[in-house]
């Protein structure tokens, strides 16, 4: 074989190899397992909206959403016959409740102990005196607040097995952490069913499963306390994590130039005023994050941050009224918008 | 010893490689992304009320009767709540959702009118599947 022939043969082979590689590449793209379609489900429970977005079958999301009705009927203080309604109306008698209610109560009590009562699940008698939703700016009578304060004491709750006893006159409200609990349960349900990519939002409690299909983390914005309803002050990258924020901009009214917001101090019965605008908790359990965000808001920047630094796998972002942002030691922030 | 390659040979190989690379890139881009397409999904309560293609600017009205009305302004790449009969007008102040901003919004790709239980979602199709799009006549959608 002379050089000319071998060269032509080589060129043919080279062209064939390159073309084959291209076709293989294209073939890989065409034959690649299609990622599950992103689907969504929406529902209204606990006076808020629940949006579930996941890369899985629609039926699975609908099944997950349907579980919310059970949780509402079990955990809502306003649904007659729910566990919480039964506890609050038992007149001091023991009440047998579901495992879900016990799990919530135990977390609530743990958060109460950790925060030395800054989070108190028995604050319901005081909360009931305030109206942050009607749009009318009316202060409750101070005498009523003072009369209700002795009924706020989480140490009076007795839990034995699935039996709960609450002194007559006291009330519990699990609404503050129920959304977190349900978020955890829905995420666990979807994971069990093999879902590897999802973001669930239960009235501001965001929990993520895995990453987006393109491998990037879920981007979750943290509300600018002074911005419009949808303005982020920073973006978090979350993978298999939850973020829950308590802020003084969520529900409030203004009277004589003073903002009265919905985060009440269990010691005074009045809205907390310590220079904080919001506290966001980032961790694995949305229920725990729910309780800790309230507790840390009440505790304030210094004590709240100290509490967070004592806890494992829990991070926090404190934003002050003058928009100073304070991060706990392990927070990962993608970028700052403002 | 003669050269195995001539300059012309290298040029031919180079052209083939370049052409193949371009073809492969085009196939990959089209095959994997299909371009970013998106549409608006409107929910009333937990029911998917209708899906609307983005495009020409127009207003879609969601009329639940008894004075419960939301008007959604649809644009080429997004939408916003133009007006609502609700008390708090929170949804009207949630800004616009677009393909460019939805990843940076607190509410991500959603706008929510809690009192009227109307929820708007920007559904990014990722080219995976053509969404079922309902035609909107005269810019209104009434049941």
d(CA B55, CA B75): 6
Measured N-to-C along each axis, helices A175-192 and A286-299 cross at an angle, to the nearest 10 degrees, of: 150
Residue A20 and residue A99 in one domain = no
> Residue B33 above 90 pLDDT?
no
Instruction: Calculate the dihedral angle through the C-alpha atoms of A21, A23, A27, A28, rounding to the nearest 10 degrees.
Output: 20
Contact B70, B80 (CB under 8 A): no
Q: How far is CA B139 from the centre of its chain?
A: 18
Residue A9 and residue A112 in one domain = no
Q: How far is CA B134 from the centre of its chain?
A: 14
> Residue A54 above 50 pLDDT?
yes
Instruction: Kindly state the helix (H) or strand (E) to which residue A187 belongs, with its residue range.
Output: helix A175-192
Residue A101 and residue A210 in one domain = yes
User: A201–B126: do the CB atoms touch at under 8 Å?
Assistant: no
- For residue B98, list its beta bridge partners: B78
Superfamily of domain B38-142: N-utilization substance G protein NusG, insert domain (2.60.320.10)
**Residues of chain B with pLDDT > 90: what percent?**
56
pLDDT tens-digit readout, A28-37: 444 455 667 8
Higher pLDDT, A100 or A3: A100
pLDDT, residue B3, reads 58
Number of H helices, E strands in chain A: 9, 16
Residue A28 and residue A140 in one domain = no
pLDDT, residue B4, reads 58
| Residues of chain B with C-beta less than 8 angstroms from the C-beta of A22 | 20-21, 23-24
Q: Which of B9, B88, B104 sits opposite A232 (nearest CB)?
A: B104
pLDDT, residue A1, reads 44
Residue A27 and residue A166 in one domain = no
Give this prediction's pTM: 0.80
> Residue A64 above 80 pLDDT?
yes
Residue A110 and residue A165 in one domain = yes
pLDDT tens-digit readout, A157-168: 999 999 999 999
pLDDT, residue A22, reads 45
Residue A21 and residue A128 in one domain = no
Distance from CA of A158 to the nearest CA of B (A): 36
Contact A292, A314 (CB under 8 A): yes
Residue A321 structural domain: 38-336
DSSP state of A133: S
pLDDT, residue A168, reads 94
- Where residue A298 sits, what CATH number does that domain have? 3.10.520.10
Q: How far is CA A73 from CA A80, A133, A149, B32, B126, in A?
A: 8, 22, 28, 44, 38
User: A135–B88: do the CB atoms touch at under 8 Å?
Assistant: yes
Number of domains in chain A: 2
Residue A150 and residue A278 in one domain = yes
Picking from A109, A80, A60, A321, the residue whose alpha carbon sits closest to that of residue A209 is A60
d(CA A51, CA A40): 7
* Token representation of residue B46: 């937990």
Q: How far is CA A335 from CA A202, A221, A332, B103, in A?
A: 24, 10, 9, 13
Higher pLDDT, A338 or A5: A5
Per-domain boundaries in chain B: 1-32, 38-142
pLDDT tens-digit readout, B35-53: 568 999 999 999 999 999 9
User: B31–A30: do the CB atoms touch at under 8 Å?
Assistant: yes
pLDDT, residue A56, reads 95
DSSP string, B81-96: EEEE-SSS-TGGGS-E
pLDDT tens-digit readout, A243-281: 999 999 888 899 998 999 999 999 999 999 999 999 999
Residue A20 and residue A111 in one domain = no
pLDDT, residue A320, reads 97
What rounded mean pLDDT belongs to chain A?
Answer: 88
Picking from B131, B115, B139, B92, the residue whose alpha carbon sits closest to that of residue B44 is B115
> Residue B131 above 60 pLDDT?
no
pLDDT tens-digit readout, B103-113: 889 999 999 99
| Residues of chain A with C-beta less than 8 angstroms from the C-beta of B49 | none
Asked casually if ipTM beats, i.e. exceeds, 0.95, the reply is no
Residue A280 and residue A143 in one domain = yes
User: A32–B32: do the CB atoms touch at under 8 Å?
Assistant: yes
Residue A142 and residue A23 in one domain = no
């Amino acid at each position: 074989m002379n050089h000319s022939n071998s060269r032509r043969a080589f060129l043919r082979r080279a062209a064939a190899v390159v073309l084959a590689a291209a076709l293989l590449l294209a073939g890989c793209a065409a034959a690649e397992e299609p990622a599950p379609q992103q689907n969504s489900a929406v529902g209204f429970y606990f006076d808020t909206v629940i949006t579930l977005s996941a890369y899985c079958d629609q039926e699975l999301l609908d099944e997950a959403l349907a579980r919310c009705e059970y949780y509402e009927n079990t955990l809502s203080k306003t649904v007659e016959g729910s566990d919480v309604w039964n506890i609050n109306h038992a007149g001091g008698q023991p009440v047998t409740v579901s495992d879900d209610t016990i799990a919530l109560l135990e977390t609530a009590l743990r958060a109460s102990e950790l925060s030395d009562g800054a989070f108190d699940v028995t604050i319901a008698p005081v909360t009931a005196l305030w109206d942050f939703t009607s749009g009318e700016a009316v202060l409750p009578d101070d005498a009523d607040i003072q009369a209700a304060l002795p009924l706020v004491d989480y140490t009076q709750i007795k839990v034995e097995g699935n039996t709960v006893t609450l002194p007559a006159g006291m009330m519990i409200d699990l609404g503050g952490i129920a959304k977190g609990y349900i978020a955890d349960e829905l995420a666990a349900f979807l994971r069990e069913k093999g879902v590897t990519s999802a973001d669930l939002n239960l009235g501001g409690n965001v929990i993520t499963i895995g990453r987006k299909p393109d491998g990037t983390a879920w981007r979750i914005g943290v509300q600018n306390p002074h911005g419009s309803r949808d303005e982020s002050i920073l973006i978090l990258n979350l993978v298999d994590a939850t973020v829950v924020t308590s802020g003084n901009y969520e529900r409030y009214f203004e009277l004589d130039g003073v903002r009265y917001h919905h985060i009440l101090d269990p010691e005074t019965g009045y809205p907390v005023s310590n220079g904080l605008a919001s506290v966001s908790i980032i961790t694995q359990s949305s229920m725990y994050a729910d309780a800790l965000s309230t507790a840390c808001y009440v505790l304030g920047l210094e004590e709240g941050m100290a509490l967070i630094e004592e806890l494992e796998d829990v991070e926090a972002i404190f934003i002050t009224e003058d928009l100073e942002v304070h991060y706990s030691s392990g927070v990962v922030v993608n970028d700052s918008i403002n | 010893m003669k050269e195995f390659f001539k300059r012309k040979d290298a040029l031919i190989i180079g052209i083939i490689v370049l052409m193949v690379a371009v073809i492969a890139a085009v196939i990959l881009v089209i095959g994997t992304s299909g371009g970013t397409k998106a549409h608006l999904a409107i929910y009333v309560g937990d029911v998917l009320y209708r899906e609307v293609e983005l495009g020409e600017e127009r207003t879609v009205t969601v009329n639940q009767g008894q004075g419960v009305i939301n008007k959604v302004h649809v644009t080429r790449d997004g939408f916003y709540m133009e007006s609502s009969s609700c008390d708090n007008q929170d949804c009207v102040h949630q800004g616009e959702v677009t393909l460019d901003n939805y990843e940076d919004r607190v509410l991500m790709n959603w706008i929510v009118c809690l009192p009227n239980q109307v929820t708007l979602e920007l559904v990014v199709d990722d080219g995976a599947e053509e969404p079922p799009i309902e035609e909107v006549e005269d810019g209104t959608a009434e049941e």
